[in-house]
């Protein structure tokens, strides 16, 4: 990527975090110079000079820019470490406020619904990773995970696997991957899954590969598929001891487990 492309990406990301277009462009522009006047900043960013001052006032109020009241005024961005920390705190604060607001919204239908036999779909790597992390965090008895794609074993998931009080068994599709997993989660029981088809390498079309198979407390099941070109991820999530998908998951995952670790043995 060129410098201009990086600058455009940074401005786009700042807008996703809540800044308006001119504010984002002004901040990115100031990170490229020690200090700048409204004229210089307008030249760097293509933001109309008349709009620079409004954008700078907003950025100053958010703690992202400092102003020297000289003639002409000089502006400079706060150090990047301070700026990113400020933006992180603002984003987290908004998320917490959103959570509080959503929790305070009254239910339209207050009738309790049974969670038995539920099957849901999820899309997007972030959403699926968040659900997987939550499943491990809430586990009380056992977590069995078969890793079909290395990308699903994120740092956050590894942290939760290491922190959980539940028994953890992790399957890999190769001996080399098993060794890496054992190093990352030393207290887990690791195994070679015997499910080489998870990677889709035997599929002549290479349409899809399984990202992860997860069974938690013998009652919750998550399986995801990853498209090789876009690397987009989709998943099916099921709950309920009698759920057909959960039963199938037990049988599949058990292919690589010792009988004593077979998550289906508890149903015998």
Q: How far apart are CA 9 and CA 113, in angstroms?
A: 44
Position 247 scores a pLDDT of 67
Query: Which three-class secondary structure state does DSSP give residue 225?
Result: strand
- Give me the sign of the Cα torsion angle 78, 84, 85, 88: positive
Position 238 scores a pLDDT of 81
Place of tokens 């590969």: 209
**How far does CA 184 lie from the centroid of its chain?**
19
- Token output for 91: 């984003």
Position 251 scores a pLDDT of 66
Q: In the chain, list all ranges with CATH 3.30.870.10.
A: 118-267
Position 52 scores a pLDDT of 96
- Token output for 259: 């009988």
Position 194 scores a pLDDT of 63
Instruction: Reply yes or no on domain 118-267 having CATH 3.40.630.10.
Output: no
pLDDT digits (tens), the chain, 268 positions: 787 889 999 999 999 988 999 999 999 999 999 999 999 999 999 999 999 999 999 999 999 999 999 999 999 999 999 999 999 998 999 889 988 898 888 777 656 555 556 778 888 888 999 999 999 999 999 999 988 888 889 999 999 999 999 999 998 888 888 999 999 999 999 988 765 555 555 555 555 678 888 999 888 889 898 877 777 888 988 887 566 666 666 666 665 554 444 444 444 4
Contact 67, 32 (CB under 8 A): no
Please state, as a whole number, how many other Cβ atoms lie within 10 Å of the Cβ of residue 114: 7
pTM higher than 0.75: no
Cross-strand bridge partners of residue 216: 143, 220
Task: List the one residue out of 27, 53, 25 whose CA is nearest residue 39.
Answer: 53
Cross-strand bridge partners of residue 224: 212, 235
First vs last Cα of the chain: how many Å apart? 58
Position 231 scores a pLDDT of 79
Architecture of domain 3-102: Orthogonal Bundle (1.10)
Q: What is the largest CA-CA distance in the chain?
A: 83
Q: In the chain, list all ranges with CATH 1.10.10.10.
A: 3-102
Position 197 scores a pLDDT of 55
Contact 227, 213 (CB under 8 A): no
Q: How far apart are CA 268 and CA 265, in angstroms?
A: 5
Report H helices in 107-224.
Answer: 125-138, 155-163, 175-184
Mark 19-39 as b/e (b = at least 16 C-beta within 10 Å).
beebbbbbbbbbbeeeebbbe
């Amino acid at each position: 990527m060129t410098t201009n492309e990086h600058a455009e990406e940074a401005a786009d990301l700042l807008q996703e975090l809540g800044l308006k277009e001119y504010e984002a462009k002004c901040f990115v522009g100031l990170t490229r110079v020690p200090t700048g006047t409204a004229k210089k900043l307008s030249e760097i960013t293509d933001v109309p000079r008349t709009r620079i001052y409004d954008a700078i006032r907003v950025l100053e109020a958010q703690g992202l820019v400092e102003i020297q009241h000289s003639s002409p005024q000089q502006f400079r961005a706060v150090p990047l470490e301070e700026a990113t920390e400020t933006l992180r705190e603002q984003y987290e604060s908004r998320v917490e406020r959103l959570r509080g607001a959503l929790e305070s919204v009254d239910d339209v239908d207050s009738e309790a619904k049974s969670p038995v036999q539920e099957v849901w779909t999820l899309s997007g790597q972030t959403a699926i990773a968040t659900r997987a992390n939550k499943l491990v965090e809430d586990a009380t008895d056992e977590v069995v995970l078969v890793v079909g794609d290395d990308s699903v074993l994120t740092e956050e998931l590894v942290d939760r696997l290491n922190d959980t009080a539940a028994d953890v068994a992790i399957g890999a599709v190769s001996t080399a991957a098993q060794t890496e997993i054992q190093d990352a989660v030393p207290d887990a029981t690791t195994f070679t899954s015997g499910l080489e088809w998870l990677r889709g390498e035997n599929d002549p079309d290479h349409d899809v590969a399984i990202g992860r198979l997860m069974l938690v407390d013998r009652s919750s099941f998550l399986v995801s598929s990853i498209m090789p070109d876009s690397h987009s991820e989709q998943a099916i999530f099921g709950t309920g001891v009698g759920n057909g998908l959960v039963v199938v998951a037990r049988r599949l995952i058990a292919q690589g487990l010792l009988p004593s670790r077979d998550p289906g043995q508890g149903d015998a």
